[in-house]
């Protein structure tokens, strides 16, 4: 018995059966190619959806930080109006409660001077 390999899949078959197998193997390869295209399209859509969700989350984080910063600004302005009013009336500003604390969680402390900076900024101070 003489075995001949299939030109598509590499499996060995008898010389009189190889032609019949190659026809069936070609059909299977064509169907598999279609399946692979569908899988690739589905994976591409999934990756695109993941990227969209990441961008959406990033935008939500940015807007929520903006909202918090805006509220802090409004509180600071309100406090300054109180101080100005007390000064105009001739009162002592030490009697007013201290100003509201601002949220600095988004800032990164400098390892040298311990001041807080935006993540994109670099602290140029050095320890002497």
Q: Is residue 124 part of a domain?
A: no
Q: Is residue 53 part of a domain?
A: yes
Cα-Cα-Cα-Cα dihedral sign, residues 16, 21, 24, 26: negative
Q: Is residue 125 part of a domain?
A: no
Q: Is residue 29 part of a domain?
A: yes
| Nearest-angstrom CA–CA distance, 112 and 13 | 75
∠ Cα 68 74 78 (to 5°):
145
Helix H segments across the chain?
A: 18-88
**C-alpha closest to that of 121 among 64, 103, 110:** 110
- Per residue in 78-90, pLDDT (tens digit) is 999 999 999 999 9
* The two structure tokens encoding residue 42: 């589905």
Q: What is the mean pLDDT of residues 96-105?
A: 81
Q: Is residue 128 part of a domain?
A: no
- Per residue in 10-57, pLDDT (tens digit) is 889 898 898 898 888 888 888 877 878 888 888 999 999 999 998 888
Number of domains, the chain: 1
| Nearest-angstrom CA–CA distance, 111 and 105 | 16
Q: Is residue 126 part of a domain?
A: no
Domain of residue 11, residue span: 3-117
Q: Is residue 95 part of a domain?
A: yes
Q: Is residue 127 part of a domain?
A: no
């Amino acid at each position: 018995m003489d075995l001949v390999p299939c030109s598509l899949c590499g499996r060995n078959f008898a010389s009189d059966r190889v032609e019949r197998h190659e026809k069936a193997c070609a059909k299977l390869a064509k169907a598999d190619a279609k399946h692979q295209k569908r899988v690739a399209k589905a994976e591409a859509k999934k990756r695109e959806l993941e990227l969209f969700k990441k961008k959406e989350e990033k935008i939500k984080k940015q807007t929520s930080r903006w909202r918090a910063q805006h509220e802090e600004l409004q509180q600071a302005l309100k406090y300054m109006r109180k101080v100005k009013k007390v000064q105009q009336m001739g009162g002592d500003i030490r009697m007013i409660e201290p100003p509201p604390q601002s949220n600095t969680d988004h800032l990164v402390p400098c390892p040298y001077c311990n001041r807080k900076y935006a993540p994109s900024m670099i602290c140029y101070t050095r320890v002497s």
